[in-house]
């Protein structure tokens, strides 16, 4: 065990194995981004077809857009039905007007909710006056919907290795809370804002501990700009300076990557 691994503190009983155990994630490396979209969508569709009342934690960002498009198309063709499914989104900026085009609430409406009936959909309220009170509300809401059957996460830009908005320093037992965004995150995500200067400094996010409670976790990453973070996450020490590396203390993780994102892993 490395020094970094020895810092892992996991609440007793939360995981089936001692915290010093790490699991190799199932690696699915596909030729291109479109194949990642199709594979990830296929896994989610299969989960919902097997258990229509599934509770899903879902992400936003560039990475899952194609995946949502395929889920919508499948729902419209009658292949999958989300009308009994519960969605608990990973995160939302704070403060942000939920109605603004830049909010993750708008993202979800644009890419999923406006197109298919979903049983129940939850996302932190970026417009809540108190971030801490909203974090408390969302924490209780998530708790009441546990266990999450499947959590789908992307990975942050550059060297952040964030999942949700759990930036460096996030611990494996962290739960829903207000966080300050890493500068790299703000720089990468500002480009997606109508007015980049308006990107908030913070966000509300599910914690690492919340994500790790899901029965199954899918990590999706596409593109060369994710290659460093993917390699650090899957091959480096398990530690809070790469929060996504905590995925390796979960027994059931599927990493769905395109060849560019996986390029440093291949041949290692
Ligand atoms: P992206 O963001 O999909 O826009 O790259 C992922 C993330 O920040 O978790």
CATH of the domain at 223: 3.40.50.1360
Q: Is there a domain that residue 164 lies in?
A: yes
Instruction: Please indicate, yes or no, if residue 212 is contained in any of the structural domains.
Output: yes
Range of the domain at 79: 23-257
Expressed in angstroms and rounded, the spacing between residue 189 Cα and the centre of ligand 1 is 8
Asked whether 154 lines ligand 1 (CB < 6 A), one says yes
Asked whether residue 12 is assigned to any structural domain, the reply reads no
Q: Is 155 in the pocket of ligand 1 (CB under 6 A)?
A: yes
The reply to whether 15 falls in a domain is: no
Please report the atom of ligand 1 found closest to the CA of residue 154. 9
Give the separation between CA 4 and CA 242, rounded to whole angstroms: 11
Domain count, the chain: 1
- Report CA torsion sign: 106, 156, 171, 14: positive
Percent of all residues in the chain with a pLDDT value above 90, rounded to a whole number: 90
230 lines ligand 1 (CB under 6 A): no
Residue 85 within any structural domain of the chain: yes
Per-residue model confidence (pLDDT) at position 169: 96
At 124 the three-state DSSP class reads coil
Q: Is the pTM of this model over 0.85?
A: yes
Residue pLDDT, tens place only, 84-93: 999 999 999 9
Q: Could you report the per-residue pLDDT of 112-131, keeping only the tens digit for each? A: 999 999 999 999 999 999 99
| Residue-level pLDDT at 234 | 96
pLDDT at 155: 98
Span 126-143, average pLDDT: 98
Q: Model confidence over 62-96: pLDDT tens digits?
A: 999 999 999 999 999 999 999 999 999 999 999 99
pLDDT over 70, % of the chain: 92
Contact status, residue 48 vs residue 85, Cβ threshold 8 Å:
yes
Distance CA 252, CA 236 (A): 19
Q: Which of 168, 224, 212, 172 is nearest to 25 (CA)?
A: 212
In a domain, residue 65? The reply is yes
Average pLDDT over residues 174-197: 96
Domain membership flag for residue 9: no
Let me know if residue 264 belongs to a domain: no
Strands (E), the chain: 26-30, 55-58, 86-89, 91-94, 120-122, 150-153, 177-180, 202-205, 216-221, 253-258
Confidence at residue 8, expressed as pLDDT on a 0 to 100 scale: 41
User: What pLDDT band is residue 267 in, cutting at 50, 70 and 90?
Assistant: low
How confident is the model at residue 266, as a pLDDT? 78
Mean of per-residue pLDDT scores for the chain: 93
From the CB of 179, is ligand 1 less than 6 Å away? no
Query: What residue owns the CA closest to ligand 1's atom 2?
Result: 61
Res 20: pLDDT = 67
């Amino acid at each position: 065990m490395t020094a970094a691994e020895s810092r892992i503190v996991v609440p007793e009983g939360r995981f089936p194995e001692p915290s010093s155990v790490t699991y190799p994630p199932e690696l699915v490396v596909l030729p291109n981004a479109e194949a990642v979209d199709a594979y990830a969508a296929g896994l989610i569709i299969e989960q919902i077809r097997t258990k229509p009342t599934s509770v899903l934690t879902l992400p936003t960002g560039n990475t899952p857009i194609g995946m949502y498009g395929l889920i919508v198309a499948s729902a419209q063709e009658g292949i999958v039905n989300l009308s009994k499914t519960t969605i608990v989104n990973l995160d939302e900026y704070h403060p942000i007007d939920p109605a603004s085009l830049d909010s993750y609430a708008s993202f979800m409406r644009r890419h999923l909710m406006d197109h298919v009936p979903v049983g129940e959909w939850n996302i932190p309220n970026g417009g809540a006056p108190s971030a801490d009170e909203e974090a408390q509300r969302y924490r209780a809401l998530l708790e009441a919907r546990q266990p999450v059957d499947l959590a789908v996460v992307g990975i942050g830009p550059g060297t952040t290795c964030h999942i949700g908005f759990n930036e460096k320093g996030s611990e494996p037992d962290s739960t829903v809370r207000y966080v300050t965004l890493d500068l790299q995150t703000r720089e990468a995500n500002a480009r997606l804002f109508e007015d980049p200067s308006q990107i908030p400094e913070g966000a509300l996010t599910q914690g690492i501990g919340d994500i790790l409670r899901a029965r199954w976790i899918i990590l999706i990453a596409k593109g060369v700009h994710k290659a460093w973070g993917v390699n650090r996450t899957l091959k480096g020490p398990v530690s809070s300076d790469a929060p996504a590396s905590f995925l390796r203390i979960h027994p059931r993780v599927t990493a769905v990557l395109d060849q560019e994102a996986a390029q440093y892993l291949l041949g290692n």
